[in-house]
């Protein structure tokens, strides 16, 4: 099984890398499948797929009629067309505020020479400027002239992704295979998943859903049953094809709340870096150090095989917990890392560095 970025390339099929999705994925490892399929269908109708392993059995919570939500929210969802030196691509995006801020995936606008957005199938394309990108969370911010949007911009409301639970309804709106304005529904299948970011690092705390997501949905919103954004649709898991298999992944909206204001202000984000790759220690709590990759961890005395139990007072139960804890800090911040080594506990002092532009190749 592999993961595929859910953006839609109209004229270009790119080379692919694949990875098995397994429990306890390494924090700094894994690869995206870069293949995107062309439009294959002439209909925009989609039905919820079956829940995947790890899904809640509360299928009764799945909404049977989302027409009211679609009517309210779809005017704030955009079709995004991109031109690169290699060809043309498309994806989805959504209105963040009335100033003309559009949120999408970093991989949708990667290497873009020009970008335009459209809010209806018959609407005129509106030129968009890439304000900033954060490959570490696969989030990008675009800017358009609000006066060029007929009827005005319709910003979407944001939910609190920290309060989500498996089994709750999930609704996706976007442009799968270029079919603008497509809505699908399902449930939140699981929380706390990990996927690979465009720069090779790991995105933690990801939402898994069985709402049908296909190439072209990338950058579009995943919504709750009130029509509020809970995540950005980013990837799908596949079994040899690039179509929906009932396993899709969305970057949580709480990451959007953190990243977008910074991108609007400076166009980029410098992220803290500990310099380790880790895996889950299940059934125990903690994150097991697989590799020491950077100066911060080396200077702190962290070693492969160490079990990290806490980071600066924050309990670490999984590898994902460690990744999220580090990303709440800034380069140059100091903290304490509690590790278990050879049956005894040690507290190490660490000064965080600046995350490289790309993850190091795992050996």
Catalytic option among 189, 218, 279, 310:
218
Q: pLDDT tens string for the chain (363 positions)?
A: 556 666 543 322 222 222 222 233 333 322 223 223 222 222 233 333 333 333 333 344 455 689 999 999 999 999 999 999 999 999 999 999 999 999 999 999 999 999 999 999 888 999 999 999 999 999 999 999 999 999 999 999 999 999 999 999 999 999 999 999 999 999 999 998 989 999 988 898 899 999 999 999 999 999 999 999 999 999 998 776 666 778 999 999 999 999 999 999 999 898 899 999 899 998 999 999 999 989 999 999 999 999 999 999 999 999 988 988 998 889 999 999 999 999 899 999 999 999 888 876 443
How many whole angstroms separate alpha carbon 7 and alpha carbon 235?
8
Block residue for tokens 């509020």: 228
Domain residue spans of the chain: 1-41+67-266, 272-354
Strands (E), 155-311: 169-174, 182-196, 202-209, 221-223, 229-238, 248-252, 272-273, 276-280, 287-292, 307-311
33 in active site:
no
Alpha-carbon distances, residue 115 vs 83, 107, 227 (angstroms): 7, 13, 27
Q: How far separated are the first and last CA of the chain, in Å rounded?
A: 22
Kindly report, residue by residue over 204-259, the tens digit of the pLDDT: 889 999 999 999 999 999 999 999 999 999 999 877 666 677 899 999 999 999 99
Average per-residue pLDDT in the chain?
83
Please tell me which residue in 29, 49, 107, 116 is annotated as part of the active site: 107
Question: Is residue 218 among the annotated active site residues?
Answer: yes
pLDDT of residue 204: 87
pLDDT in tens, 313-344: 999 999 988 988 998 889 999 999 999 999 89
Residue 358 has a pLDDT of: 84
Of the candidate CATH numbers 1.10.8.60, 2.40.10.120, 3.40.50.720, 3.40.50.10860, the domain formed by 1-41+67-266 belongs to 2.40.10.120
Q: Any catalytic annotation for residue 107? A: yes
Of the candidates 138, 210, 306, 321, the residue annotated as catalytic is 138
* CATH no. of 272-354: 2.30.42.10
């Amino acid at each position: 099984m592999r993961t595929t970025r859910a953006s839609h390339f109209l004229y270009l099929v790119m080379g692919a890398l694949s990875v098995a999705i397994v429990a306890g994925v390494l924090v700094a490892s894994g690869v995206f499948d870069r293949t995107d399929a062309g439009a294959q269908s002439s209909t925009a109708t989609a039905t919820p797929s079956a829940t995947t392993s790890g899904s809640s059995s509360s299928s009764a919570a799945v909404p049977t009629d989302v027409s009211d939500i679609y009517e309210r929210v779809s005017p704030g969802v955009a079709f995004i067309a991109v031109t690169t030196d290699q060809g043309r691509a498309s994806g989805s995006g959504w209105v963040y505020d009335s100033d003309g801020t559009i949120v999408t995936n970093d991989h949708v606008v990667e290497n873009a020479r020009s970008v335009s957005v459209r809010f209806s199938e018959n609407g005129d394309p509106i030129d968009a400027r890439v304000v900033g990108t954060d490959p570490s969370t696969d989030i990008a911010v675009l800017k358009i002239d609000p006066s060029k949007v007929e009827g005005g911009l319709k910003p979407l409301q944001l939910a609190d992704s920290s309060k989500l639970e498996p089994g709750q309804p999930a609704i996706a709106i976007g442009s799968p295979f270029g079919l603008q304005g497509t809505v699908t529904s399902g449930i939140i299948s699981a929380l706390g998943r990990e996927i690979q970011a465009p720069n090779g690092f790991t995105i933690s705390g990801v939402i898994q859903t069985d709402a049908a997501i296909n190439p072209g949905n990338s950058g579009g919103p995943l919504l709750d049953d009130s029509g509020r954004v809970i995540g950005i649709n980013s990837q799908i898991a596949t079994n040899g094809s690039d179509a929906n298999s009932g396993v899709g992944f969305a970057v949580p909206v709480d990451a959007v709340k953190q990243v977008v204001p910074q991108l609007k202000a400076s166009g980029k984000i410098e992220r803290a870096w500990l310099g380790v790759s880790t895996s889950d220690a299940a059934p125990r709590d903690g994150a097991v150090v697989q590799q020491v990759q950077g100066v911060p961890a080396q200077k702190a005395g962290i070693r492969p095989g160490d079990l990290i139990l806490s980071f600066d007072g924050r309990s670490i139960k999984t590898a994902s917990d460690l990744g999220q804890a580090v990303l709440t800090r800034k380069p140059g911040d100091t903290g304490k890392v509690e590790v278990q080594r050879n049956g005894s506990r040690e507290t190490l002092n660490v000064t965080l560095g600046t995350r490289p532009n790309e993850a190091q190749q795992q050996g």
